[in-house]
């Protein structure tokens, strides 16, 4: 019989609602269904806190307005002082807090790495008892950053498969004044450098020559918005590029698309790709980071990073070849079944147990 786990103290800054915060919510909700004793230290009033509370997950909300929050540090310390626990840091700010509290409270800690950027300061990463990498690509970056390989476990990010598949298409076509049958490329990605929207827009300009009816609905916001708008104007594709900003229901947008496009230059995994796979929307994406781990074996069309011609060709294939399109959808539907939230939770639980057994 497996001994019960000590309490899990999650630490997640959670001031935004992006992929990382979504994964914290999915994991904690899945662990809650398995009656794991846990608490999440996170930002008061954040979307993450609201969703966790609706899922019945206990939160310790704090005023966390800066990366190194004294209030958050006190909260993590107080939770660890309540009894045996395992700390789980879910982002870089959380890692620093966990790294400070863990040795003082004699609490083991785990940290999740969600991006494939090089590690510049490995200090706290090396101190972690275990590091969870969300893809093999992230694991490789961690090893290059001097993290011992035997401390790293790959647990892929996940989606709520049933909830995602139940989503209906939103009203984006009517909002844009497009006919129901008009082709629509969709993307969900922050407007930041590593998402490489420049390659996407250059691909859009290439496709526009043969498919002037193709429109692009791009959800996401960020510091590069003005630059992206300028590039769209310079390329002559402004009439078909629709920058939607941050939206409340990205799944409804994806469901409405004819093709989902991801042009990242770096990507830990990219769960919006999983959303598209579950929603039967064919995917054309770059071979960045962990993306091939979702789309290999024919689950999507993969192209080189930074190659707008290849990206355009993949999109044109999806739009013009119905047989290939249907093959992509069928393979993706089968492949995405391995990326459910309960499977992710099982992988994380095995990491917790490995830490507990060594203490």
- Per residue in 236-288, pLDDT (tens digit) is 999 999 999 999 899 999 999 999 999 999 999 999 999 999 999 999 999 99
Considering the domain architecture, whether residues 57 and 124 belong to the same structural domain is answered as: yes
Q: Which of 3, 122, 120 has the alpha carbon at shortest distance from 111?
A: 122
CA–chain centroid gap for 86, Å, is 24
pLDDT of residue 321 exceeding 80, the answer is: yes
State how far the Cα of 180 lies from the Cα of 322, in Å rounded to an integer: 17
Q: Is the dihedral of CA 118, 243, 283, 17 positive or negative?
A: positive
Residues 247 and 274 occupy one common structural domain: yes
Q: What is the DSSP string of 146-169?
A: T--GGGEEE----B-HHHHHTPPP
Residues 310 and 198 in one domain: yes
Side-chain-side CA neighbours of residue 78 (13 Å): 12
Q: What is the pLDDT of residue 326?
A: 98
Calpha distance 280→324 (Å, rounded): 13
Number of other CB atoms surrounding residue 305 within 10 Å: 19
The residue-averaged pLDDT of 21-47 equals 96
Q: So what's the pLDDT on residue 16? A: 80
**Spatial CA neighbour of 48 closest among 17, 10, 73, 11:** 17
One domain, residues 137 and 254: no
**Do 281 and 222 fall into the same domain?**
yes
Identify whether 1 is part of a domain: no
Check whether 341 has a pLDDT greater than 60: yes
**Other beta carbons less than 10 A from residue 67's beta carbon:** 14
Q: Is residue 311 part of a domain?
A: yes
Residue 49 lies in a domain: yes
Tokens of 154: 């790959």
Other beta carbons within 10 angstroms of residue 317's beta carbon come to 16
Structure confidence at residue 331 (pLDDT): 98
Pair 192, 121 in one domain: no
The answer to whether residues 44 and 138 belong to one domain is yes
Residue 2 covered by a domain: no
Residue 181: pLDDT band (50, 70, 90) is: confident
Number of CB atoms found within 10 A of residue 302's CB: 19
The pLDDT confidence band at residue 356, using thresholds 50, 70 and 90, is low
**Mean pLDDT score of the chain:** 94
Please state at what angle helix 322-335 crosses helix 308-320, rounded to 10 degrees: 100
pLDDT at 15: 75
pLDDT higher than threshold 50 for residue 359 = no
In terms of Cβ atoms closer than 10 Å to its own Cβ (0-12, 13-18, 19+), residue 123 is exposed
Percent over 70 (pLDDT), the chain: 98
Beta-carbon contacts of 174 under 8 Å, excluding residues fewer than 6 positions away, are none
Long-range contacts of 296-305 (CB under 8 A, 24+ apart): 297/331, 297/335, 298/327, 298/328, 298/331, 299/328, 299/331, 299/332, 299/334, 299/335, 299/336, 300/273, 300/328, 300/332, 301/328, 305/196, 305/199, 305/264, 305/265
> Residue 225 pLDDT more than 70?
yes
Please tell me the number of Cα atoms within 13 Å of 337 on its side-chain side: 6
Return the CATH number at 26. Answer: 3.40.50.2000
Domain membership flag for residue 26: yes
**Does 224 lie in the same domain as 206?**
yes
End-to-end CA distance of the chain: 19
What pLDDT sits at residue 215?
97
Number of domains in the chain: 2
- Each residue's pLDDT tens digit, 126-164: 999 999 999 999 999 999 999 999 999 999 999 999 999
8 A C-beta contact, residue 79 and residue 10: no
252 and 173 in a single domain? The answer is yes
**What's the average model confidence in pLDDT over 210-239?**
97
Place of tokens 């074996």: 297
Domain that holds residue 154: 7-158+340-358
- pLDDT-based confidence at residue 2 (cuts at 50, 70, 90): low
Is residue 207 pLDDT above 80, yes or no? yes
> Are 264 and 347 contained in the same domain?
no
Helix (H) / strand (E) containing 251: helix 250-256
253 with 296, same domain? Answer: yes
- Residue 17 located in a structural domain: yes
**Domain assignment of residue 314, yes or no:** yes
132 and 262 in one domain?
no
3-class secondary-structure state, position 276: helix
Mean pLDDT for the stretch of residues 40-53 = 95
- Cβ burial of 313 (10 Å; 0-12, 13-18, 19+) is middle
Contact 135, 293 (CB under 8 A): yes
Q: Which of 321, 315, 326, 220 is nearest to 272 (CA)?
A: 220
Lowest mean pLDDT among 113-122, 123-132, 199-208: 113-122
């Amino acid at each position: 019989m497996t001994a019960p786990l000590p309490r899990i103290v999650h630490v997640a800054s959670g001031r935004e609602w992006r992929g990382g915060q979504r994964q914290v919510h999915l994991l904690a909700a899945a662990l809650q269904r398995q009656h794991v004793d846990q608490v999440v230290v996170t930002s008061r009033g954040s979307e993450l806190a609201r969703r966790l509370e609706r899922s019945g997950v206990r939160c310790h909300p704090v005023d966390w307005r800066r990366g190194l929050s004294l209030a958050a540090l006190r909260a993590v310390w107080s939770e660890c002082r309540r009894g045996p626990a395992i700390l789980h840091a879910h982002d870089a700010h959380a890692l620093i807090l966990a790294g400070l509290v863990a040795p003082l409270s004699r609490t083991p800690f785990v940290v999740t790495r969600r991006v494939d950027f090089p590690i510049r300061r490995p200090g706290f990463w090396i101190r972690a008892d275990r590091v969870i990498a969300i893809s093999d690509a992230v694991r490789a970056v961690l090893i290059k950053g001097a993290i011992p390989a035997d401390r790293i476990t790959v647990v892929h990010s996940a989606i709520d498969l049933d909830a995602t598949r139940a989503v209906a298409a939103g009203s984006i076509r009517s909002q844009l004044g497009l006919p129901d049958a008009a082709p629509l490329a969709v993307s969900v990605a922050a407007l930041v450098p590593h998402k490489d929207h420049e390659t996407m827009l250059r691909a859009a300009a290439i496709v526009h020559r043969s498919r002037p009816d193709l429109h692009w609905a791009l959800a996401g916001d960020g510091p590069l918005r003005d630059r992206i708008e300028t590039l769209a104007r310079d390329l002559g594709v402004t009439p078909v590029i629709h920058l939607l900003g941050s939206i409340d229901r990205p799944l409804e947008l994806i469901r409405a698309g004819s093709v989902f496009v991801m042009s990242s230059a770096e990507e830990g995994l990219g769960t919006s790709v999983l959303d598209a796979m579950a929603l039967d929307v064919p995917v054309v994406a770059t071979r960045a980071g962990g993306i091939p781990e979702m789309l290999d074996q024919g689950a999507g069309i993969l192209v080189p990073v930074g190659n707008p011609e290849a990206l355009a060709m993949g999109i044109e294939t999806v739009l013009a070849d119905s047989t290939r399109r249907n093959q992509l959808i069928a393979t993706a539907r089968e492949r995405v079944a391995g990326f459910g939230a309960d499977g992710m939770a099982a992988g994380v639980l095995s990491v917790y147990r490995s830490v507990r057994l060594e203490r």
